Chain A
Amino acid sequence: MDTTTIKSNFKSEEYFINMGPQHPATHGVLRLLLTIDGEIIKKVEPDLGYIHRSIEKMCERDSYQQIVHLTDRMDYLSSHINNEAVCLTVENALQLEIPERVKVIRTILGELTRLASHQLWWGVMGMDVGALTTYFYGFRDRELINDIFEETCGARLTMNYNIPGGLMFDIHPNFVQRTKDFITHFKTKLPEYDRLLTGNVIFQKRMKGVGILSKEDAISFGASGPVGRGSGYSCDVRKHHPYSAYNQVTFNEVLKTEGDSLARYQVRIEEMWESMAIIEQLIDNIPEGEYKVATNAVIKLPKGEFYQKVETARGELGVYINSTGTKNPYRLKFRSPGFSNLSLLNHIAVGGKIGDLVASMATLDLVIPDIDR
């Protein structure tokens, strides 16, 4: 065999591989079509729809009270905040005056949801990059929040506690004490997260300088939440368009300018401290009063278009309702944070290795039902 034949036998070629839909690192049924040259990624093309349930179509059929329950099934780790988004849209459209008590309770529960979501993310993100212990630490602390939810809302994951006009029922008598106990507990546990993972040399090397996203690209791709803030893009809806009780509390919007995976990681860790600070400011001052205002059994929104954005654990969730004055929306659109955050995956993964893709994807914190809807 002459040398040219040997060379042609070993010529480098691009080829495709499938990642998912059952790959553990895609956290759900996301299929990525990777174009690869050796181990270098040339292109990432997401193939969506494995868990598409046509929620927007179902909303055109349902009443506004029913729609709230569908939103739990989008980003199930931010279910409380999703519920709140629809309720706020309906309440604003009806121009209902919501009691202060409701606003404060919603804010506390929203921040507890964010904490629980970030804890779970931290646990599985460690596992994605090979640190198995984090999973157990994350779930250990998240369990305590789920217990609080279970007692007050009656459910641990799909809360359905918000209704248009307020809350389904009043908070449990133990709620305040248990939340305070949790904050005291978690303040001693959160530094463990840093000790266990953040400073680890292997972890640092897998995260630093990997999956870099510039601020301009973050805005252009519509990134939001910790993904945008890791690139120095100030996009916190709680700051820029405050809702519920966020205008009554002081907290910092965590911003990092590096734009790499480590920056997105650090934003979430620091956000947990901010969430605890928000809860601490409110938990002793829950105003007395009604936990809901009466609405008609059949809610009809006035004719018009209504838009509300909220900050879920993943970023900006938008609810657009086009109403013709009937009991169903004419068109309802959910602008989900994960959908826009996924669209930039190709941009940050090209040129890297498959291992880097896993690390970048972990810091995007994708929840697939949120993307597919």
Chain B
Amino acid sequence: MTNETLQNLISSWIPELEFTEADSQYLNITVKPDQLHQLMLQLKNNSETSFDYLFCVTGIDYEKELGVIYHLESTTFRHSIVIKVKTEDRENPTFDSVWNIWRTAEFHEREVFDFFGIIFNNHPNLKRLFLTEDWDGFPLRKDYVDEINMVIK
């Protein structure tokens, strides 16, 4: 499916989605946190989109906002799409987990939690993955203070 037909189809499901193709090779959709799970479920289960392969989950700190970027591909149609979700709440950034849609998200979301402190609702085992349990702070956030100078400037 081309990006244009994808956009027409997906915008008919949920209004208020932001679509952009600027500065990226994929079609990017920005979705509100409370609509994330609904959109993801439909992207996976709809027979025309059938995005069954979640190949990359990236946490990102936009300084004002915290976000997660999902890269999806369909193994049937071989089209790809990027879903973005953002929140301005830096104290308790929370999104719905998509691990019950794609099992691979379980580990990827734990990684995002570990480095960005983003909490995923309904995640079965949300705890630190690489760092120790008593680690203070979230190192990939832009405002993280690297006190022991672990990454030498």
Contact = CB atoms under 8 A, between A and B. Distances in A.
Chain A interface SS verdict (over half): mixed
Contacts of A304: 22-24
B52 A220 contact: yes
Interface string A210-242: 000000010111101000000001110000100
A368 to B, nearest CB: 12
Given A219-B53, A320-B56, A61 B151 contact: yes
Contacts of A303: 23
A257 interface: no
B145 interface: no
Contact of A54 (B26, B108, B151): B151
Contacts of A316: 55
A305 interface: yes
Nearest to A215: B75
Interface string B44-84: 00000000111110101100000001010001001000100
A307 B58 CA distance: 12
- Sorting the interface of chain A by its residue count into under 10, 10 to 19, 20 to 34 or 35 or more gives 35 or more
A222 B102 contact: yes
Contact of A331 (B54, B58, B106, B139): B58
B104 A340 contact: yes
A234 B103 CA distance: 19
Given A58-B151, A372-B130, A217 B103 contact: yes
Contacts of B130: 48-49, 52, 372
Contacts of A309: 55
A48 B82 CA distance: 28
A139 interface: no
B9 interface: no
Interface of B: 22-26, 28, 52-56, 58, 60-61, 69, 71, 75, 78, 82, 102-104, 106-108, 111, 115, 129-132, 139-140, 150-151, 153
Question: Which 7 A/B pairs are nearest by Cβ-Cβ distance?
Answer: A304-B23, A222-B104, A49-B130, A343-B107, A335-B56, A333-B58, A52-B130
Given A222-B104, A302-B23, 19 more contacts: A48-B129, A52-B131, A54-B151, A56-B115, A219-B52, A219-B53, A220-B104, A235-B75, A304-B22, A305-B28, A306-B24, A306-B25, A318-B55, A331-B58, A333-B56, A335-B56, A339-B111, A343-B104, A343-B107
